[in-house]
Chain A
């Protein structure tokens, strides 16, 4: 196995180990003890939190910013595809077939979405205000990871570049905002539990005609 593959495996191991540490810490800390009398269902709240609550029709952050929302989804999908590609390579499989063209195309589109998001971050006054160096670094690393994955699918000789970009991204993941790969789930879980307990989620049908009741 070439050195860059070892670098990829090494980075993956570090990334997984630190992520595991975060997950174990979360599990160990556990849920808040709730003394109030429950009026809804925390389970339904959690399910809702991960499903319908993400629907643009109930979420202004999506509906009022549809292009950014779609770019974000494409960008995340690109990361998953590039991640699968990375796993394929370290498993010693060499991707082949016509469908690779599709995936390469998708990765270029997702990298483009990432670039668009970066440009927005650099030009939008409010995003500039809230951004940290970490945000730019995270974006550049992920975007480059996706783009190099796309190139690798078309030019297998570029494997070292892809593996190095993957390794760098994975080494950075646990220390910066890319950690949201873990904390997204934890936050949505807590939110679902909280709103479910109080019968806020699942959202009540916002139409009430009870005159006849």
Chain B
């Protein structure tokens, strides 16, 4: 079976689906609710920036994502899983984005994106409608919505400024490695390799203070000093 044939089959099916939906009076596929989508983007914002001035954080920035080949944002270090998918020709069509957000690991096995998936179809439609604004015409990026904040935090800047010792971080990482794999694999336990230092430090302090709840991680973080958290961040930052 050639790829071309499958393509044809698919487009026939989606045409059929679209008209079926129209018959029942539901909104046509693709016409999502942008405002709802903006709220739903809250699930992504801890890791992805989008809008004017967006930069790569835990995940790549998402401006112009529609119809771009996967794994190609300048300066972002993708997982081997994403690099492989990209080499295999994955392009972020609306359909592929929809599948990825529904369950990242089904589309891109061993991706580093630790997101459990958005199961509701309408949610995804709305979210993609929101994201598409930042793709349709890059010069047309809505000015009023520069969603460029990272995770919210009230961490003392002095704590964020600590420069960690990666050698100590490597030793400390022994305590993490039985759960978080150095390879960046992400199965049941999220990947923590390659994170920007600041995000890593914020995440661990969130567990340490109990703002973010998780029994294992709260216990792990509670015993880490500020210097140790900085050391771990310095080590994981460069781990591929």
Q: Do A and B bind each other?
A: no
Hey, which bits of chain B sit against chain A, CB under 8 A?
Answer: none
Hey, which bits of chain A sit against chain B, CB under 8 A?
Answer: none
